[in-house]
């Protein structure tokens, strides 16, 4: 038994490291799809999210999300981490797949991911101090309370709502907040002018591509670790369905977008891969390879329509976060009721109710936080700061300084 626990726990720690590595992928993707003058600002936000997120999850979030016995809506097991002990040593019967400490760290990496989704959507025009306050409140309170409803054994879990690795609990939780934020923030200067949609090309497609490939690799830990053990059958199936959905999402997105727009758009290809990954995440452990390909392919088409829809309603999302994480997150959650082991009308209805409940808490929570910030500190930088770039005004430096020797 101890040997099996060791194997399971090592696998979970490897998956934790892979999910941690995803934060580099998010950073690369965001800086690649935005303008050079805001690079340091985006990197700073990503560093703050992972550092502050882990501290908040230790002090508050973990025991909000996993409170033990509670009323199904809200519970709190106390501040800080208190490991279960037997005779003064760590209780190794805590779980057959991992120890208490591994559980905390794995779940903490997930918590930080939800706020990173918002970072990309609000890029290039949000005040850094206001964003940091949002991260503290959203990761510290909204994310773990919402997470307790399913993963903490709350009322949605008792209802039968299913979300294996977080299409809704992570990606849609971040996506709803991103949608509220870009609505309250407004679009970047020049994005929508004279009835036309302005294009702001990202400054580094190599960075963006590297970011997506790193995220795909990280998803091996994101979904593979959500088996919560090294079970050979479930783990290997989960990795297969995850990869097939990603591949199908990328292929369907670039084919559909090329037919629609008459060019091979690499940003659609990249976001299609991510859309496939988000879409399969809710049911990766119970889908057949064919199911996974269908879910990913549909997600890829959704991406093309989703990006166009966000532009049409005059919302500015520089990296396509709402289309990828919110819309494909909803699709993946509902797909559990269409494909796989739980398919059927009753399950589909339960999935829909779950989506609606998370929409309610995330929209209300993020709106309250951002609106209070908007009327107090303000959430948008000045026009001058936005035009000249946040790197110079918020950080006093350039991401790519000229190292050439000046002639005297």
Using one digit for the tens of pLDDT, what is the confidence trace for 60-88? 999 999 999 899 999 999 999 988 888 77
Nearest one of 356, 270, 366 to 321, comparing CA atoms = 270
For residues 298 and 292, give the distance between their C-alpha atoms in angstroms, rounded to a whole number: 10
Residue 153: CATH number of its domain: 1.10.3430.10
Say what the pLDDT of residue 356 is. 98
Rounded mean pLDDT of 371-391? 95
Rounded mean pLDDT of 102-108? 95
Phi, psi of 347 (to 5 degrees): -70, -40
Please, what sign has the CA dihedral across residues 382, 45, 247, 281?
negative
Q: What angle, rounded to 10 degrees, do the helices at 232-261 and 289-312 form?
A: 40
Q: Are 253 and 212 in contact (CB under 8 A)?
A: no
Per-residue pLDDT of 114-139, as tens digits, reads 899 999 999 999 999 999 999 999 99
What value, to the nearest 5°, has the Cα angle with vertex 374 and ends 369 and 378? 125
| Residue 192 DSSP SS3 | strand
For residues 23 and 43, give the distance between their C-alpha atoms in angstroms, rounded to a whole number: 10
218 is a domain residue: yes
Q: Are 217 and 23 in contact (CB under 8 A)?
A: no
For residues 32 and 18, give the distance between their C-alpha atoms in angstroms, rounded to a whole number: 21
Say what the pLDDT of residue 225 is. 95
| Residue 77 DSSP SS3 | coil
31 is a domain residue: yes
107 is a domain residue: yes
Nearest one of 287, 72, 288 to 161, comparing CA atoms = 72
What own/partner pairs with CB < 8 Å and gap ≥ 24 does 228-237 have? 228/12, 228/95, 228/97, 228/98, 229/8, 229/11, 229/12, 229/96, 229/97, 229/98, 230/7, 230/8, 230/10, 230/11, 230/12, 230/97, 234/285, 235/11, 237/285
Rg (CA), the chain: 21
Per-residue pLDDT of 311-357, as tens digits, reads 999 999 999 999 999 999 999 999 999 998 889 999 999 999 999 99
Rounded mean pLDDT of 359-371? 97
For residues 106 and 116, give the distance between their C-alpha atoms in angstroms, rounded to a whole number: 16
404 is a domain residue: no
Say what the pLDDT of residue 340 is. 83
Per-residue pLDDT of 5-55, as tens digits, reads 999 999 999 999 999 999 999 999 999 999 999 999 999 999 999 999 999
Nearest one of 179, 223, 211, 210 to 359, comparing CA atoms = 179
- Which burial class, exposed, middle or buried, applies to 249 when counting CB atoms under 10 A from its CB (0-12, 13-18, 19+)? buried
Rounded mean pLDDT of 175-200? 91
Say what the pLDDT of residue 406 is. 46
Distance of CA 215 to the CA centre of its chain: 11
Say what the pLDDT of residue 264 is. 95
The answer on pLDDT for 193 being more than 70 is: yes
**How many other CB atoms are there within 10 angstroms of residue 187's CB atom?**
18
Predicted confidence band of residue 198 (pLDDT cuts 50, 70, 90): confident
**Which residues constitute the domain of residue 55?**
2-395
The mean predicted confidence, pLDDT, of the chain is 94
Phi, psi of 55 (to 5 degrees): -65, -45
Q: What's the domain count of the chain?
A: 1
187 is a domain residue: yes
Say what the pLDDT of residue 408 is. 39
The answer on pLDDT for 405 being more than 50 is: no
Phi, psi of 112 (to 5 degrees): -65, -30
The answer on pLDDT for 260 being more than 80 is: yes
Rounded mean pLDDT of 368-374? 97
Predicted confidence band of residue 404 (pLDDT cuts 50, 70, 90): very low
Q: Are 217 and 276 in contact (CB under 8 A)?
A: no
For residues 11 and 224, give the distance between their C-alpha atoms in angstroms, rounded to a whole number: 9
For residues 283 and 175, give the distance between their C-alpha atoms in angstroms, rounded to a whole number: 19
Say what the pLDDT of residue 8 is. 93
406 is a domain residue: no
> Across-strand partners of 196?
193
How far CA 368 is from CA of 45, 58, 134, 362, in Å, comes to 21, 24, 10, 10
Per-residue pLDDT of 81-99, as tens digits, reads 988 888 778 888 888 889 9
Nearest one of 322, 317, 385, 362 to 129, comparing CA atoms = 385
400 is a domain residue: no
Say what the pLDDT of residue 369 is. 97
Predicted confidence band of residue 403 (pLDDT cuts 50, 70, 90): low
309 is a domain residue: yes
Predicted confidence band of residue 242 (pLDDT cuts 50, 70, 90): very high
Looking at the chain, the whole-number percentage of residues with pLDDT higher than 90 is 88
């Amino acid at each position: 038994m101890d040997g099996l626990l060791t194997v399971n726990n090592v696998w979970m720690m490897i998956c934790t490291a892979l999910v941690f590595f995803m934060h580099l992928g998010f950073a690369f993707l965001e800086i690649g799809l935005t303008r050079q003058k805001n690079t340091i600002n985006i990197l700073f936000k990503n560093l703050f999210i992972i550092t502050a997120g882990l501290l908040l999850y230790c002090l508050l979030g973990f025991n909000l999300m996993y409170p033990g016995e509670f009323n199904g809506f809200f519970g709190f097991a106390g501040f800080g981490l208190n490991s279960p002990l037997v005779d003064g040593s760590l209780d190794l019967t805590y779980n057959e797949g991992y120890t208490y400490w591994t559980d905390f760290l794995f779940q903490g990496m997930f918590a930080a991911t939800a706020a990173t989704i918002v970072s990309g959507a609000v890029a290039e025009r949000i005040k850094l101090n206001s964003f940091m306050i949002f991260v503290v409140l959203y990761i510290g309170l909204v994310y773990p309370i919402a997470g307790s409803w399913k993963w903490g054994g709350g009322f949605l879990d008792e209802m039968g709502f299913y979300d294996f690795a977080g299409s809704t609990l992570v990606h849609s939780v971040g996506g709803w907040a991103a949608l509220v934020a870009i609505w309250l923030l407004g679009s970047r200067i020049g994005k929508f002018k004279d009835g036309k949609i302005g294009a702001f090309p990202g400054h580094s497609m190599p960075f963006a591509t590297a970011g997506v490939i790193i995220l795909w690799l990280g998803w091996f830990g994101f979904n593979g670790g959500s088996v919560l053990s090294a079970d050979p059958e479930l783990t290997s199936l989960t990795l297969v369905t995850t990869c097939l959905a990603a591949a199908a999402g990328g292929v369907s997105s670039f084919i559909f977008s090329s037919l629609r727009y008459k060019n091979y758009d690499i940003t659609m290809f990249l976001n299609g891969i991510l859309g496939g990954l988000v879409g399969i995440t809710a049911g990766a452990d119970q889908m057949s390879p064919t199911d996974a390909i269908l879910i990913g392919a549909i997600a890829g088409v959704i991406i093309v329509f989703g990006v166009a829809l966000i532009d049409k309603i005059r919302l500015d999302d520089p990296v396509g976060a709402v289309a990828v994480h919110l819309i494909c997150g909803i699709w993946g959650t509902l797909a559990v009721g269409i494909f796989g082991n739980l398919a059927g009308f009753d399950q589909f209805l339960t999935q829909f109710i779950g989506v609606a409940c998370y929409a309610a808490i995330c929209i209300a929570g993020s709106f309250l936080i951002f609106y209070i910030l908007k009327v107090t500190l303000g959430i948008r930088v000045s026009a001058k700061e936005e035009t000249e770039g946040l790197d110079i005004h918020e950080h006093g430096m350039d991401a790519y300084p000229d190292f050439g020797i000046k002639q005297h």
